[in-house]
Every structure is written in structure tokens, then in C-alpha cells.
Amino acid sequence: MVAALITGASRGIGAAAARKLAANGYDLLLLARSLSDLETLADQLRPLGRTVEVAAIDLADAAAIPVGLDQLCSRGLLPQLVINNAGVAYTGALASMPLSQWQWLFQLNVTSVFQVCQAVLPHLRAAGRGHIINVSSHAAQQAFPDWGAYCASKAALVSFSRCLAVEERTHGIRVSTLTLGAVNSSLWDSETVHSDFDRRAMLDPEQAADALLFLAQQPATQVVEDLTLMPAAGAL
């Protein structure tokens, strides 16, 4: 059986991806901040015959990530598929954005992805194969007023993914980036985001999960390096 590790798995795209992958035969390692939400999700998936391990890890805490992932992977289930889905947003002018908010956003959107990859790469290299999928945003290629920090973090994530792909190719490890337009998720309800976008026109988390499954099911002899999924209404 193939095991998948998903960050930000307790809700939204992460939870939808967990359900989709479990239904298609994947065992799961799920992490997020809320252990209770993860356990609820795991209880829904285990009756499908899947092995599901969960861990409450706050990706905003850089020191907690290596320890938490080491403990999670020590339970006997090692991932061959890694989906870095967790992320946050902040709306506000760059000129007045507090440094602490900038550092928080980059820790979650970029640095934690780097840390997760560093933690799992020894396992993937030992197996001689693996697939890392990083979830990005079309904001990586666009400039939106008051979304500058978010745009910059997603652009950094795209560049990181491309560099990682080149470095790990000889180890049999593939890297993909899923670029998404606006998705109707809990991100829009967070205290750091203030927006009047029409959420009815956004992508559904299930659509993003379908795209993740598509990427994951590519044969080992090929890789879709970049996949962009946008709402039919256009950029949001």
C-alpha cells in the first residue's frame, strides 16, 4: 500500500484530499493543529480499511516540526506521497505589515514546507522513489493589492519546488506544484484575511482534491511538474 502524508489535513482541501486518497487505496499520515479534528476525520476513514496515523503539529512552530514528524513516521507508516497543503494568508499593505506577521506567514507558507521536505527526504531517498506535491496559488504569478506578502510567499514556494525537483530527480523523487485559483475554504474566514470576493464563484475543495489525486496517480515514469486549476469565472 502507498502511504500519503498531508499537512493541513483537518479541513478544507487537506480533509477533502484525505477522503479522496483513502477511497483510492492510500494509507494516510495526517497532520494539523487540531488533534480532535484529525481524530474525527481518521474515524471516518479507517472503516474503508485504511491505516490512518495523525499528529497535532503547529507548523508555525519551527522547532516542533522535526520532532513531530519524526514521532509520526516512527509508528511504522512511511510516506511515499507528500502533500504540502497547509497555508495561511494576510491582507494588508506591505508598508504597514508587522514584521511578526510577515515572519509568521513565511514560516507557514514556505519554511514549514522546507522543513517537512527535509524530514521526509531520507525516507524517500532510502526507498528510491517518492512524490512531493506542493500546493501553491496563482498569486505566485500575479500582483494583488494588499496581498503582497501572500503573493511573495507563494512565488517563493514555486521556486523552492522547482529547485527541489532538480536536486532530487537523481534519487527517483518527483516534485509537482498544484497552482490553484481561489478555493472556497476556511482561509477566507481567518482573522488575517479581509476580502469581498464572491465565494460562490470559487473552486470547491473537492475540485482541488481531484487535482491532487490526478497528480498522485501519474505513473512513476512521468511527472506533471505544474498543474494550474482556476475557477471558470477567472482570477479571484
DSSP code string of 194-225: -----GGGSBPHHHHHHHHHHHHTS-TT----
Say how many C-beta atoms besides its own lie within 10 A of residue 131's C-beta: 23
Active site residue 90: no
76: left (phi over 0), alpha (psi -120 to 50) or beta: left
Asked if 108 and 135 touch (Cβ cutoff 8 Å), the reply is no
Distance CA 69, CA 119 (A): 7
Q: Which residue in 26, 90, 147, 150 is the catalytic one?
A: 150
**Nearest-angstrom CA–CA distance, 182 and 188:** 10
Residue the block writes with cell 505589515: 97
How far is 65 from 40, CA to CA, in rounded Å? 22
Q: Which residue has the cell 479507517?
A: 46
Instruction: Give the residue numbers annotated as catalytic, written as ranges.
Output: 150
